[in-house]
Structure 1
Amino acid sequence: MAGALKGIKILDLSRVLAGPFCTMVLGDLGAEVIKVESPNSGDDTRKWGPPFKQKVSAYYLCTNRNKKSVTIDLKSVQGIEQIKELVSEADVVINNFKSGTMEKFGLGYKTLSLINPKIIYCSITGFGETGPYKDMAGYDFIIQAMSGLMSITGTDNSSPQKLGVAIVDVLTGLYAAIGIQAALIEREQSGKGQKIDLSLYDSAVSALINIGSNYLMTKEIPKRIGNEHANIVPYQTFITEDGEMVIAVGNDSQFKKLCEIIEQPKLATDIRFQTNPDRVKHRLELVPILQRAFLQRNTAYWKDKCDKNNIPCGPIQDLEDVYNDPQLNKRNMFIEMEHPTAGEIELIGSPLHLSRTPVTYRHHPPNLGEHNVEILNKLHSKNLND
C-alpha cells in the first residue's frame, strides 16, 4: 500500500542525528527523501565508530534508511543553483546548520520561498534563530547540561549524568516531524508554505514535563533522586535476589495489592503510607521496608506476582535481552535490509503501526552520492528541456 506521505518530496540538508532522524521517520511514512551531502566527506556520522561493517558506520545506518544520497557542493555557484532547482520541486527542505549559515549560502527561507511559495522550511539549530544564544553552536550533550536535564539525572551522591543516548537530538527530530506534518496539513487549506524555527534547547526544556512544572509551582530546585520518582512512591528500582527490577505503583489500590503480595498488608493501612502524598512524604521510611521484602525472592517470582495482580513492573534488560524479547520481535522492531557495501544489515524498525498505510522499508541507507546520476541527470535533462 502507498505510505501516508507518498507524494511528499523532502530535501534533506541536515546531518548527524536530529535532522536525519526526522527525515527517516518521514521517509518510513512514504515521503521521498533526498539527502544532500558534501562531495568529499558526506554526513559526519559516516566516520563515527567503531563499529563498522565493511567500512559502513553503524551510527550512520541507524538514521538514514529510505533516502537517496546526492553530493552537492554548497560552497559553489553550481551547487547553490542545483539546490534551488531541487527546492522548486520539493515540499519540504530541512537543515541543521548553525543559525545564519543558510542565509550565507543564499538559501535562506526568504529566498527559497520566492522560488517555491509552498515550501515548508524547517531549520534546526542549537538555540533557535532568535535570542542572545542564537549564534552559538549546539550539541546534544551541551544542551542536556544547560537545559536542566543533567541536573536531575543521577543520584544525590553522583555528579549530574547525561542520558545514555542523545535524547535531545531524538526529541528534536520528533518535534521536527510533527511540525513539518502540521505545516503540510495547514498548507492544504492556505496553499502557502512556512518556516519552522526549532531548537534543541527549547525541545530539551519541554521534556522537563512534571519536574519543570514542580519547579514553576514551588521555585524549589529539584534534587537528583536516581531511579526514584519525584511525585510517586513506590515508583523505582528494587534489588531482588538475583537482579534488579522496576516497580511502578501508580495509585493507592495498586499499593494495597503490592503490600499483600509481599505479605505485609498492614503497610497499606499505616497512616504514613495510606495515600500517595503520604508515601512521598515518608519515602525514606517506606522504601527500605519494601527493599528488604524484594530481596527475599528472585525477579521472575516478583514479576509473576505483580503481573497477576496488575501491578506495573518490569525487569531491567540489557540489549541482548531486548533483542531477544518476543514482544518486540512480534512487533517487527528489528528488521533486515540488504546494503550494497555492508551486505545484510540489521536495523531498529519503526514504532509506527498504521493500519491502512503502514510504514515501508524501501531503500537501504545510501552510500555517499549513490543517487547522483538519477537526481543530477534529471536536473540536467530538465534544464535542456527548458
Structure 2
Amino acid sequence: MPLLLGALADRYGLSDGALGQLNAAFIAATMITGLSAPYWVPRFDWRVTNYLAIAGAVAALVLGTGATTIAALLILFAALGLFLGALLPTSFAALGETRFPNRSYATGVTMQSILAAVANIGISVVLIPYWGVSGILLGLALMIASGAIAIRRHPRGGVAPPAPASDYSTPRGHLLTRAALPAMLTLLAIALVIGGIQGYWAFVERIGVGHGLAAEAIAATLSLCALASIVNSAVVAWIGDRVHALAIIVAGTAIVNLSFFLLTFSGIVPFVASNILFASAFGLLVPSYWAVLKRVDATDRLFVAGPAAASAGAVAVSLVAGTVIGAGGYIGLTIFDGALTMAAALLAIVAGAAMNRARMRDEREGGEQPA
C-alpha cells in the first residue's frame, strides 16, 4: 500500500489529504464487510465466499488501470477493500479454530510479511520503473488471483451455530451481555493499535522522502521491514503459550514508540532503524492482540469482528491523518499514533483483568452451589 500510494502521488500530484482519503476508502470498505462477519461467517460457505471475493478484487484492479481521476481512484480503493474485506473474517475464523490460535495467527502474519517482502521488491524494481501505476495494479491482481489455488484447502466453515447460555462460562452467541465486555474492550484496543500502525504506515513512503531518501532506498527499507516482521512473528509462533500475550503487547508497544522517537533524527540511518523496529513491533503486536481477543471472547462470535475493528481504527486515523500532519507535521503524526498504541495496550490489560475477575466470580459462585 505505501508504494502504491506513493506512485499515485507522483503520477497525479496527490496531496497527503488525498492519499489519506484513498487509504480511508479502502479500509472503510473492508470494515463494512467485516462488521457483519459475526452473523454471516457461521452461515456462509467459506470457500465460495473466498472465490467470489478474489474474483471481485481482481476485476476491480484490472478496471482500475483506467482510473484517471480522484473519484475513480476512490471507487477503485473502495471496491478493492470491499472484496478483500470478505477474505479476512473467514481466514481469521479458521485460524482461531486451531488448537493453538496465537501460533496460528503469528504464522499468518509471518506469511503475510514474506509476501509483502516479495511484493515490495517486485513493485520497486520491476513494476514501477517499467509500467508505473498500471503495472502495480496488474501485479497485485496476479498475486491475489494466485490465492485461489489455496482455497480448496480452506475449511468450508468453522463456527458452529450459536447455542443459548445463562452464565459467563457458556454465553455462546450472546453479543450484548456483560460476558461480552472483555471482547468488546479488546476490539476497541485492536481498533486503536491498528489505527496507530496504519496511520504511520500509510505515510512511510512520504516520510522517507522527507528524510531525503531515494525511491530505491525506501523500497529496500520496506523489504527489510518485512523481514523484521517475519522474524518477530515467527518468534511469537514459536513462543506459543510460553509467554502471556499481554506481556508481548507491552513489549511491542514500547518498541513501536521507540521507533517513532528515532524519527525525530534526520538521515537514512535513523529512518531505516526506526522502520525496522516498527516492523518488529508489528510482528509482535498483531498476533498477540488476535490471541487476546480469542481468549477473552466468551461469546465465541465476536472474535471474527477483529478485522472489522482493525479497519474501523485504521479508517478513522486515515481520515484525520491529513489534519494531524498539517498541524504537527510527520512528527506530530508519530506522536498521535504512539499515543493510540499505548491506549490500546492499556485497554487490552483491562480486558484481560475483567476476564480473569469474571472467571473467578463464576468459579466462586459455582463452588457455593449445593451438591
Short-chain TM bin: under 0.3
Question: Given the two structures, how large is their TM-score scaled by the length of structure 1?
Answer: 0.26
Higher relative contact order (CA 8 A, sep 6+): 2
Q: Which has the higher strand share?
A: 1
> Which of structures 1 and 2 has the bigger CA Rg?
1
